[in-house]
Each structure stands twice: as C-alpha cells, then as structure tokens.
Amino acid sequence: MFNIFKKKFSGESIVSPFDGKLINIEDVPDPVFSGKMVGDGVAIEPKEGIVYSPVNGEIIQLFPTKHAVGIKSSGGLEILIHIGMDTVEMKGDGFESFVKEGQNVKIGDKLIKFDIEKIKENHSIISPVIITNMEVVDKIKKRESGIFVESGKTEIMKVSLK
C-alpha cells in the first residue's frame, strides 16, 4: 500500500574519489578518524594513486604536503579527503596536486596523484572521506563496506541537510 506520509530519502550524493574497496569509518586504523573526531563519513582502500573530485564544488583547502584536500560542495557540504594514514610525515614526497585553493571542480576531475607504493612502505593507504561540517547534516546514508567502488561513478554517501 502506498504511504503518502513516508518521506523518501533525498539529499546530496557523494561519489567515490578513488577506485578501491569501501571501508567503514569505524574500521580506520586511526582513532581521530574512527572516533569521528573530524566528522563522519567512510574510507576507501585505493587501488591506484589518483584522487578525483567526489562532488561539484570548490577546493577550500589544499594541505601544503598535498596528502589531503578539502572541498566545499555546491550543496554546502565540506568534505575532507585524507590520503592514507600519517602521510603528513611524508612532507609531500610522492604527492602531486592538479588543483589549487579557490578552484572550482566537477565530479571526476583529477585532484591529486600519489605514489601508492611509496605510501605502503611505511603507512596504511586507507583513505578517509569525511564530512567535516556535521552541524549542517541531518542524516547520512552510507553504502555497505567491502564493495568495490569506482571513482566518479559509485555513490558512497547520500547526505541530507538540516
């Protein structure tokens, strides 16, 4: 029976910035991310060393070491993509950026290239994709972990705003 009071979940779609395996944020080997201290989201174990934009929006932060990038989506979500764990220690070695702060990007635009093998030598490559401005979020619907996600194509989260 059709229920006119049942609200369909709609919101902003975030697609994967990497090709790789989707992982629950709670399973990330870093308490800052797994404890959701930075925000909520998912993580991906990348298969290749390229980060693509998961949304249409603007680059609001590019870390000098190029190991992380912040994007403000056209819908107002602030998304942090952090490549690997403790990769700030690499001081930018093995990372190349294709964007700058203030630049507009579209889903699938290449943001950062990184040497995945160099990261694996001393760090986990598990890479969180986090919504940092949780105060504007009403609800997050996440894809199930363990699936293979494709950059620019596979929806990893749908977020509704307050």
The residues annotated as belonging to the active site are 82
Beta bridge partners of 154: none
Is the Cβ–Cβ distance between 97 and 3 less than 8 Å? no
What's the sign of the alpha-carbon dihedral 102, 106, 110, 116? positive
User: What are the angstrom distances between the C-alpha of 63 and each of 1, 8, 60?
Assistant: 52, 38, 10
Token digits for 154?
């596979």
For residue 56, count CB atoms less than 10 angstroms from its CB and return exposed for 0-12, middle for 13-18, buried for 19 or more: middle
Beta bridge partners of 110: 52
